[in-house]
């Protein structure tokens, strides 16, 4: 089964591995639609068998526990802690959505190991996050229970579904399978 999306949450149409035979495609994921796509990325992308795909969930996504203090630097550290024991050297980093600041953080830690960047729908600076993120930034700066409640008040099933179906005619939205937003 192949998962593609017109919502900006999909791999490039014809991704390839333009790297040395031992290179790695790193794709930090921040939403379940990325998990769906990573499941079949090797066959869809025509990777050579020696080109490794690593698509870890960011901490707090998928089935992983959240970080005590969730910042982009902390997310980058967590992913780097995965890469270090795997001895991942040269990498092509896929920067989707708000996984991009994490991928850029990883790239800046060891720029000599970066073979390239694939940038898709990515925020690379705070101005790209918009007003919805203000309460999240306040929580990250001061992680109290009160700030957490404000930062997560929009994280409801209805809001998450809207990320996948918002703006679509109801007859189109009704045909979209719910696995991604249910997992999110």
pTM, two decimal places: 0.63
Domains of the chain and CATH, by start: 20-122 (3.40.50.1820)
DSSP 8-state code for residue 156: S
Write down the pLDDT at residue 44.
54
CB atoms within 10 A of CB 158: 8
The CB-side HSE value for 23 (13 A sphere, CA atoms) comes to 18
Q: Is the pLDDT of residue 127 over 90?
A: no
Residue burial 99-111, b: 16+ Cβ < 10 Å; e: rest = bbbbbbbbbeeee
For the segment 24-71, what is each residue's pLDDT rounded down to a tens digit? 777 776 565 665 565 555 555 555 666 677 878 788 876 678 888 888
Write down the pLDDT at residue 23.
64
Length of the chain: 184
**Residues forming beta bridges with residue 114, ordered by sequence position:** 91
Per the listing, tokens 């959505």 go with 97
Contact between 175 and 168 under an 8 Å Cβ cutoff? The reply is: no
Q: Which pairing describes strands 24-26 and 114-120: parallel, antiparallel, or unpaired?
A: unpaired
Q: What percentage of residues in the chain have a pLDDT greater than 70?
A: 71
Per-chain mean pLDDT for the chain:
75
Q: Is the pLDDT of residue 172 over 80?
A: yes
Secondary structure E strands in 55-144: 91-96, 114-120
**Sheet of 91-96, strand order:** 52-54, 24-26, 91-96, 114-120
């Amino acid at each position: 089964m192949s998962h593609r999306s017109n919502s900006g949450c999909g791999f490039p149409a014809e991704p390839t591995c333009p790297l040395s035979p031992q290179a790695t495609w790193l794709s930090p994921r921040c939403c379940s639609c990325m998990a769906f796509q990573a499941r079949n990325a090797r066959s869809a992308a025509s990777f050579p068998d020696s080109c490794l795909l690593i698509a870890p969930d960011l901490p707090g996504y998928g089935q992983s526990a959240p970080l005590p203090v969730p910042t982009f630097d902390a997310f980058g550290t967590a992913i780097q802690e995965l890469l270090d024991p795997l001895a991942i050297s040269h990498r092509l980093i896929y920067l989707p959505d708000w996984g991009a600041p994490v991928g850029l953080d990883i790239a800046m830690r060891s720029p000599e190991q970066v073979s390239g960047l694939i940038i898709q729908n990515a925020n690379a600076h705070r101005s790209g996050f918009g007003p919805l993120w203000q309460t999240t930034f306040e929580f990250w700066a001061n992680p109290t229970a009160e700030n957490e409640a404000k930062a997560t008040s929009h994280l409801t099933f209805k809001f998450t579904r809207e990320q996948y179906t918002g703006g679509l005619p109801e007859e189109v939205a009704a045909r979209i399978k719910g696995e991604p937003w249910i997992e999110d």
